[in-house]
Amino acid sequence: MADVAGPLFYKRLFEIAPEVEPLFPNGDRTPQSKKLFKMLSYVVEKLDSLDEILNVVSNLAKQHLAYGVKEDHYRYVGEALLWTLERGLGENWTPNIKDAWIKCYGLLSEAMIHASKEQVA
């Protein structure tokens, strides 16, 4: 999935937020795509363990600070992710699925933003 969805995701992300492209200096996005979709798979598998997920993404957010990730970048990532999922799921992209992903990403990004702010403070 990452081999197909990853390039779509990054293409869309750089279209809507070209300022984030320099945060990915390596032209080959394959390793990053695999990490992204591995994390998404992890989240889906662990939906029953919300505290564990939030702990993992909070630690990830602290690492992202070193790369120059800013709070507003999370909005762009969410937009690109939803766009990618919609294209990937096609007719299976129902209003309920969309709402679930919006809520899920909202919760994850809020936790990451909060952890980033704590790290800086």
- Confidence class for position 56, pLDDT limits 50, 70, 90: very high
Reply yes or no on whether the pLDDT at 1 is more than 70: no
Q: Distances in Å between the alpha carbon of 81 and those of 53, 88, 118, 119, 120?
A: 18, 10, 25, 25, 26
pLDDT tens digits, 8-34: 999 999 999 999 999 988 777 888 889
Annotate 12-53 with DSSP letters as a single string.
Answer: HHHHH-GGGGGG--SS--HHHHHHHHHHHHHHHHTTT-HHHH
Q: Distances in Å between the alpha carbon of 88 and those of 3, 8, 58, 82, 91?
A: 12, 9, 27, 10, 9
% of the chain with per-residue pLDDT over 90 = 77
What residue ranges define each of the domains in the chain, with the CATH number in brackets?
2-120 (1.10.490.10)
The CA distance from 61 to 42, in Å, is 16
pTM here?
0.91
- Closest by CA to 22, choosing from 79, 69, 92, is 69
